Structure formats: structure tokens, C-alpha cells
Amino acid sequence: MYRQGIAGFPYYLGIQSLADIATREDRVAVLNIIGGESKTVSPVSHAFSGGNIVFGTSPGRQGQVLETPSGDIPVYNNVREALNAGHRFNFGVVYLPPSGVRDGVAELIRVNPDLTKIVIVTEKVSVHDAREIRALAQANGIDIFGGNCLGVADSWNRVRIGGALGGDKPDETLQKGSVAIFSNSGSFTTTIAQYLATSGWGTTTLISSGKDIYIHYSARDFAHALRNDDRTRSAVLYIEPGGYYERGVDFGKPVVACVVGRWKSKLTRAVGHAGAMAGAGDSAEDKERWFLEAFGTEGIFDPEAADTSRLYSAKGALVTNISHIPDALTAVMALNGRSPDFAPQGTLSLKPWMVNDRGLQLPPELEIAPIEAMAPYNVQIAGLKRQIGAVVPRQNMKDKSGATQLDPSTQVTSVHGNRVLDLARVPLEANFALPLVHEIGSDNDRAMLDIAVAAEVNLVRDPAVLIAVDAAREAGNSPNTVMAAAAAIIGPRRVERALACTRRLIDLFAFSGLTDARDEDFDVSKIQVDEATRELFRATPEEAEDPRPEAILQAVRDRGSRSVFLKFIETLDQRPSRDALLAAISATIAWEPLVRKKISRLTAETLPWYLRLYGVMVGATIPKEGHQYGMLCGIPRAERFGSWTMADLCYLAITGKKPKDAEAQPLQMLIGLLISNGPGAISAQGAKGAVSADGPQTPARVQINKAMIGFLTHTGYSHGGNGYEGMAFLIDQFKSTGLADPTSPDHGLDLRAMALRYAEGYQAEKAATKEAGRPSRSIPGVHHPVFKGKAINFDPRERFIAEEMERTNSYNVFHAFYRELVQALYDVGASPYVFCVNVDAIIAALLLSLLWKDYKSGTLAEADLENAAFTIFLYGRMIGAAAEIDDHINRGRNMDTRTPIEQCGFVV
């Protein structure tokens, strides 16, 4: 049952011409106008179309308005209320959720006698409702577009109704021309219009038809209106498989049909008649055939085909790739004696707007250089580029870290993607830089860091720190507490100028084109400097006595290091302050990762604070007497600045001596191993809590030195002294052996016999304690709750270090003893299988090897050994803490380390 519309159609059709679909006279009502989608789309449509929406509905929201650039649109509870208020409309737009669409259509039709057209934007309307909607509209003489569509638009009339054709900038896409578009795909309706413009074709009417089973305004209906629209000389159809809508349709004007979906049909499952009933004979191939027959062409049009002459005709062309549409249309229209509507606008060639190949060696066809985007996108991209460094979203960082991660299966922690095992093989200065640049720095960066830290270690020119540290040590504090006393003094004001200098350097060079901070050929003369900047970098009269600026610059020359920033500061032709040089070194180290957006600007700007803290905290572990003018533990300034590494400095701090040959090697390995145990480690928790309490969302208020103190207060004799337990165990075994050099395999000891002796004693003790019902004691460095249960067990961390020692021909008698011990324990029946030698054992072995000679000579007492072990632990964790602090400042939220009350307990 249908109302007769245009004569000759066996169903109702009211649209005579494409020009009638979306007109300036249409008055529109939008159902669910303030729903999620409509509230962003409708204002743009309304403004573009000259204010054609007379009202919207939203049950229960009568009296509200939808604000638009063309004035507010009133909202009513329902259509009847709006009509009663005097509004009149002929075009309904349905943005209701799927279950409400049928009723919305019924409301529009039954309540408003003036209604002629409806757009249903909603997708996933059930077939049940679609068939009833069709019947309802047919019976009442209403044309419906959709469902599941983006509505209709008219580039001549400057109107779009019921959807977002042309997106948020319809003017950009809806350019007046001679081509009508009918598309099963909403987004491709706009995309095709965009593509057509590249060949100079504009549009008349654009219809997003939707692709549900029921296409209420179909290709046949479109063809009729196309024939009757004088403005339109050709059409483009974008067609997907399913339905007989296009079969046997006479379009009456040239048409380019893009039929897609061939490959996808392979995905459909084997179905019998039930599925086939709806789908047989309307596949992509079938549809291609329909159009080829209609056009009288012999194949799919491809502009790159050797001979295209039989692939298009005056009636049209078939394409299967939408980017071939413009060429196909131009070819077809040429046969009709028609040229494009306007000059081509752009091309469809590949235009990467944003690129980063990260230095990969791509083949030339992939290495397409970035091309400036069209306006206004080029301006927006330029704006993005002005943003310096990475921006990381903030989140709750309690017990989380973006810097460190402990792999529970291997128990190996990674710091910024580098396993601590690998870090144990890396020079110490690279490890100290890692938390701040998030990668292993270059040789140049390492040398820079060595100089910068070396310039801070000697505290003789900073009596406040030296006195505080000495007082703290004298008071019997542990090494961490002594370090904390020093860190407390390196507060914000102590780094204010260094940070300001770094900030200024970043500002000055940010858009200078500098990518490599070592590139001393870079023309620094183009950097504009004002007097305030010069003053910022200039040493004050009070600093006239400080010899370090010159020493730093000399050290840089001695080491052959390069820095654009140092060069720049030297060109200022004034005596630079130590802060200025620290800032320049920091900027040099940070520059590349900053430019690559590997690190944030905040990280780069705060780098001098960390470097100063590193130096002062290491300096705090050296007794007061070691700090002399120009000398540290007897080592002259020039030597330390000019050639010493971080490992040398740490060795000096621990032993008071300059390391010979590879003496500092075990120390470097140890510190690498100790850097981090992930965000759950107590030390990390202390650092993170301190950051969280200052409020990282206002990063300028976070006191990095206080965060370091947070880490330090969260270490102690238990957490930090573990290495000592292993050492004490080993001392017990070796103190009466006469061992002279633990690194020599020619020690003359029968390690197997020593191990068996201990194992038998342990076995006897174990039996006795079992008899007494007490748990047996564990042996430091032996066994691990994860690496157990096999016939022979290994801690992969111990294996890694053992292999590294083999590779470097290093020997460690204590480690060799441990290996004998685990076997002996098994041999005497003290263990059910061969326990692993765990990572604590190797730490103890390395530590004791480092300190053995001083211990044996009496220079170090056992208490000193404990202090030394603890201090080395602190050096390692200083790096890990820096990583957590920087990460938490960048990512965390204020007070995010709090534990929710429901997870807290009360005990009695």
C-alpha cells in the first residue's frame, strides 16, 4: 500500500530532481538534537545552511537550546509541542538511538502534515523497524534518506541536512560543480568530493544513502532525480555488495561507478539458501557486471592501464578504487565534450604530513619526504612542532613507573628499556645519564657528564654542605643519612640559575635547526642574545675566585668533547659562571633526545639539578679531610676534570685511592646491577612518595633534592646492607686462608674442600635445628624462590655476570667458592637439588674482591666494609631514584601514592 507519487514508479517517490533534495527553503526539525552526535554536527549544518533548523526535540529538555554560530536552536519535548509553539517544518532528521528510530519516524509523519522528507542518521536500526518505517513512509508519501547515513548536501544551495557531509568544514569540500554523488559510504561521500576537486570537478547534490538492507532512497530513485536536474551533468556512485538496487537502472547521464567488496566476499561463510536468498546474485562481481553492461565497457578503468580506451565510454566507467574516480570521470566527460568545472586543486599523490623514520635505512620508494600540508593544517602542524620535547599524559603513578620495570619471570629490572644486566657492562657515566635522557648516551655525552659531576664532588668551596655532612657523619649516621644531609642543602635556590640558564638555552636554540649538539660548525651567530641573557650566563664578581669555569672549559678541550652550547657561551665574550657551563653541558646531553621528543622539556630543564646532586652526594661519601682546595683525596682538579670517569670518582670515594688498571671495573659492574629493582622497591617508593607529596602537576614546586632524600630515607641497614651479609659470610670462610688476591686464579686454595667442609657443617646444623623444631637458617647468596626446582638451578643474573667475567678474563675467588658451595650442599644432602647462586652472592663476591686488600691490610675494619657496601648500593640506587623521580614528575598526579582507605588495615 503506497501513496502514488511520481507517475510510473510502483512505489512512492516524491523527489523529482536532485535540486529538490536539500534546498534553502527546507525547514528542518532534528529529533534528539542534543544527543552526542547531533550536538556537534547540527550547529555546523545549521550555520552552513543559513539557519535551516527550526527546532529540535529531546524528551524532558524543553526550554533548553542548542547554541550555534547562527543563533540558538530551541529544544522541545516533542514535535507536537514545537508545532503548537508555531514552528513549521517539512524535513525531519532522526538522531535517535536505534530502538527509538521507528517511533521517531512515526511521530514525524503522524504529527506533522507538512512533512515531505526525512533523514535517518542512526545506524544499526533493526531490519524489523526498517521494514515498518518503509511501509509507513510509503503509505504516507514521505521520502526517506538512510538509515545509517550522513544525510544529504547541496553544494549549489549551500545546504546540508541530517548529517556531517563535509565534516566540520563543509565549505572545504562542498564546492559547486556539475557532479552528483550517491554513496553507500558516508565518509567516502566527502572523500570522493575531495578527490574530484583534484581534477577540477565540483559537485551538485551529495547523497549518503547508507547501506542497510533497506536503502530508503536508492540508486533507482537517484537516477530519476539525476535525469531531471539541469545542474548535474554526471554522477559518481560508490556501491558496496548486497541488494539489487543498481541492477538495470538507467541513469540517463554519464556515471562513474565505484564498486568495491570483491575480496571481502571471500570472507563470507558457506551458507545455504537461507543466507543466499538475500545475497545471491548481488555480489561485488555481479554489480561490476551490471555496470559494465550498462556502460558497454570491457573492464575496470585503471588510469595506469596500457590501453584504457575500452575501459570507459560516453555512458560511464567502472572503477574499483576510489582514487581512480577523478581520472575516470574526466575521461568519460571528455567523450561527452565536457571539461572540468574549475582548475584542479592539488593532487592525490602521497603526501606525508608528519614523518619520523628514526634514522632507519628505508628503501627510496618508502622514504617519501614530508610535504607541507594544505592550509590550515600546515599552521597547526607548525604549532605542534613548536612544542619542544615529549608530552606524557598524567596518571596515577602509585606503584607504577614509566622508567623501571621488574620482569617477574627473570627478576631482572629494566631502566628505560635497558636491562640492569646490560647496564652493568656500560660505563658508569652512561648509567648516570640514563635516567635523564632515557637512553644510553654517546661518548661525547659521557665525557660531558664526567666533567659536570667531577666539578661538583669537591665540597671544599661549599662549606655549608661540608659542615652538614661532617656533622651528620660524626653523629653516627648511616651513609644514606649523611648523603641526605648534603642533598638537603642543594635546594631550589642552589640550582635556580643553572636551571634558568638551561631554560634560556632551550628557548634560544629550539627553532634554530640545531639537531646535533656536538655540531660545532653550527652557526651560533644567528642566535639573538639580549643583555638579560648575557647577564644570566655571566659569572658574578663574587664568583671571581672560583677557578672551576676555566677548568671545566679546559677539561672539555682536553677530552676533545664538543658542544654547540659551550661554544655559544664562549662567543658571549665574558667570563661564564659555573652554572652557565653546567647548563650548557646539560643542554648538550639532553638536546638530541629532546629534539626527538624522547624526553620532555621538563626533564631537560631539570637535568642540571640531578648532575649537581650526583656530584654533591658522591662528594658527601668522602670524609671531610679529602676535600681540599684544588685537590680531592690528593688528586688535582685538572686530572679529575680532564680524564676521570664516574667509576674512578666512585672508586676514589670508597677507597680513597685512584684506581689502577681495571680496578674500578667490578665497581662499575656492581653499581649497574644495583640501579633498580622496579617501582615496588622501598627506595623507589620513597622517591615517588616525595614527588607525589610536592605535587607533580605543578612540577616547578617539586624539590628534586627532597625527592632524593625520600629515596635515601627509604634505604637502610636492611635495605642496602644485604651485600654486607654475603660479605660477612665470605669473610668467615676466607679470613684465615691467607688469600692475597681474590682476582687471581692462582690462589692456591682448595675451594671444593672448603665448600664441602662448610656444607657438612651446615647439614649437621640443619639436622639439629630440624630435630629441635626450628627452621634452619638460610645461607646468604644461595637459593632463590623463583629459580628453583630443577636438578641444577641458575639465577640468570648471576649467569650473566659470570659470563661477562669469563668474557673479560676476570676471576673472582669468592664467586668460584659459591659455585662449589651449591654443588657441595647438594652432594652432602643439605639441599634437594643444586641451588642457584643468586645475584646477592655475586654482589658480595664483587664487593669483597674490591675491598679485600684494604681489609686484609687493616685499612678497613669490618664496620667500614659494611659502610662501603651500603655506599655502593646508594650510588646505584641514586641512578634508579633519579629515574623514578623524573618519571613521576612527568607522569604523576598530586598525592597519587596514597593508599585507598579500604586497602589499609588496623592491627592490635
Partner 1 sequence: MQLTGMLYGARLLRHVDFPTAEVLGPGASEDELQDFIARHGLVFVKPLFKGGVGKKGKSGLIGKVRDLKTALAEKERLYFVEHRHGNSIAKANGVTFEAGVPAEHEVYFSITDDTRYRAPTITISHKGGIDIEELGKSDVATVPFEALTGLKAFVVANALTDLGAPREIISPLVQHLPKLWELVHHYGMTTLELNPIRMCPGPGGRLTPVACDFKAEFDRDDPRVQRLDLPDHLFAADLSEFEHEVNQLRTHQGQSDVFVINSEGTILAPTFGGGANSLVTEVLGEAAVISSDFGGNPPYEKMKEVAAICYRHFLKQSNVLFIIGGKSNNTDIYETFRAMADALREHFSTQGPTPLYVVVGRGGPNLIRGFGALSETCESLGLPYRFFGFDSAISEVVNYARKVDAWMRAGGRQQVAKAIGLDPAAHS
Residue pair 454/636 in contact (Cβ under 8 Å)? The answer is: no
Q: Is 1 in the site for partner 1 (CB under 8 A)?
A: yes
Task: Please list the residues that pair with 182 across neighbouring strands.
Answer: 207, 237
Footprint of partner 1 on 39-68 (CB under 8 A): 40-41
Residue pair 448/561 in contact (Cβ under 8 Å)? The answer is: yes
Among 127, 662, 753, 768, binds partner 1 (CB under 8 A): 127
Q: Is 505 in the site for partner 1 (CB under 8 A)?
A: no
Segment contacting partner 1 by CB under 8 A, of 125-133, 506-514, 639-647, 779-787? 125-133
Q: Is 240 in the site for partner 1 (CB under 8 A)?
A: yes
Q: How far apart are CA 202 and CA 195, in angstroms?
A: 10
Q: Is 173 in the site for partner 1 (CB under 8 A)?
A: yes
- Where does residue 653 rank: exposed (0-12), middle (13-18), buried (19+ CB within 10 A)? buried
Among 4, 84, 321, 808, binds partner 1 (CB under 8 A): 321
Instruction: Closer to partner 1 by CB, 210 or 721: give it.
Output: 210
Q: Is 352 in the site for partner 1 (CB under 8 A)?
A: yes
Residue pair 835/820 in contact (Cβ under 8 Å)? The answer is: no
Q: Is 508 in the site for partner 1 (CB under 8 A)?
A: no
Cell numbers describing residue 620? 658527601
Q: How far apart are CA 307 and CA 323, in angstroms?
A: 18
Q: How far apart are CA 515 and CA 517, in angstroms?
A: 6
Q: How far apart are CA 368 and CA 370, in angstroms?
A: 6
Footprint of partner 1 on 181-210 (CB under 8 A): 183-191, 194-195, 198
Question: Whole-number minimum distance, CB 330 to partner 1, in Å?
Answer: 15
Segment contacting partner 1 by CB under 8 A, of 127-135, 228-236, 478-486, 822-830? 127-135
Residue pair 625/633 in contact (Cβ under 8 Å)? The answer is: no
Q: Is 99 in the site for partner 1 (CB under 8 A)?
A: yes
- Where does residue 500 rank: exposed (0-12), middle (13-18), buried (19+ CB within 10 A)? middle
Among 98, 141, 695, 716, binds partner 1 (CB under 8 A): 98
Question: What does residue 412 show for φ and ψ, rounded to 5 degrees?
Answer: -100, 130
Q: Is 606 in the site for partner 1 (CB under 8 A)?
A: no
For residue 317, the SS3 value is strand
Among 25, 72, 168, 550, binds partner 1 (CB under 8 A): 168
Instruction: Closer to partner 1 by CB, 97 or 296: give it.
Output: 97
Footprint of partner 1 on 278-317 (CB under 8 A): 278, 280, 282
Which residues lie closer than 8 Å to 818 by C-beta, 6 or more apart?
A: 781, 782, 837, 841, 842, 845
Cell numbers describing residue 54? 527550526
Q: Is 724 in the site for partner 1 (CB under 8 A)?
A: no
Question: Whole-number minimum distance, CB 716 to partner 1, in Å?
Answer: 30
Among 32, 418, 603, 705, binds partner 1 (CB under 8 A): 418
Question: Whole-number minimum distance, CB 286 to partner 1, in Å?
Answer: 13
Q: Is 902 in the site for partner 1 (CB under 8 A)?
A: no
Q: Is 351 in the site for partner 1 (CB under 8 A)?
A: yes
Instruction: Closer to partner 1 by CB, 200 or 720: give it.
Output: 200
For residue 576, the SS3 value is strand
Question: Whole-number minimum distance, CB 386 to partner 1, in Å?
Answer: 11
Instruction: Closer to partner 1 by CB, 136 or 460: give it.
Output: 136
Question: Whole-number minimum distance, CB 312 to partner 1, in Å?
Answer: 18
Task: List C-alpha distances in Å: 768 to 82, 617, 764.
Answer: 94, 47, 6
Q: How far apart are CA 792 and CA 638, in angstroms?
A: 52
Q: Is 323 in the site for partner 1 (CB under 8 A)?
A: yes
Q: Is 124 in the site for partner 1 (CB under 8 A)?
A: yes
Instruction: Closer to partner 1 by CB, 241 or 780: give it.
Output: 241
How many CB atoms are closer than 10 A to CB 794?
18
Task: Please list the residues that pair with 91 across neighbouring strands.
Answer: 28, 117
Among 5, 31, 37, residue whose Cα is nearest residue 105? 31
Write the DSSP string, 419-433: EHHHHTTS-HHHHHH
Residue pair 568/551 in contact (Cβ under 8 Å)? The answer is: no
Q: Is 803 in the site for partner 1 (CB under 8 A)?
A: no
Torsion of CA 392, 397, 402, 405, to 10 degrees: -170
Footprint of partner 1 on 560-599 (CB under 8 A): 596-598
Site string for partner 1, 220-239 (x = CB under 8 A): ------------------x-
Q: How far apart are CA 28 and CA 118, in angstroms?
A: 9
Footprint of partner 1 on 811-870 (CB under 8 A): none
Taking phi over 0 as left and psi of -120 to 50 as alpha, with beta for the rest, 595 belongs to: alpha
Q: Is 250 in the site for partner 1 (CB under 8 A)?
A: no
Cell numbers describing residue 503? 631554560
Strands 635-636 and 631-632, by their bridges, are antiparallel
Q: How far apart are CA 485 and CA 256, in angstroms?
A: 80
Question: Whole-number minimum distance, CB 1 to partner 1, in Å?
Answer: 6
Tell me which DSSP letter residue 874 carries: H
Footprint of partner 1 on 431-450 (CB under 8 A): 439
Q: Is 772 in the site for partner 1 (CB under 8 A)?
A: no
Instruction: Closer to partner 1 by CB, 121 or 466: give it.
Output: 121
Footprint of partner 1 on 364-383 (CB under 8 A): 365-366, 368, 373-374, 377, 380-381, 383
- Where does residue 460 rank: exposed (0-12), middle (13-18), buried (19+ CB within 10 A)? middle
Instruction: Closer to partner 1 by CB, 413 or 831: give it.
Output: 413
Question: Whole-number minimum distance, CB 143 to partner 1, in Å?
Answer: 13
Question: Whole-number minimum distance, CB 276 to partner 1, in Å?
Answer: 7
Among 179, 225, 322, 423, binds partner 1 (CB under 8 A): 322
Instruction: Closer to partner 1 by CB, 336 or 395: give it.
Output: 395
Instruction: Closer to partner 1 by CB, 45 or 502: give it.
Output: 45
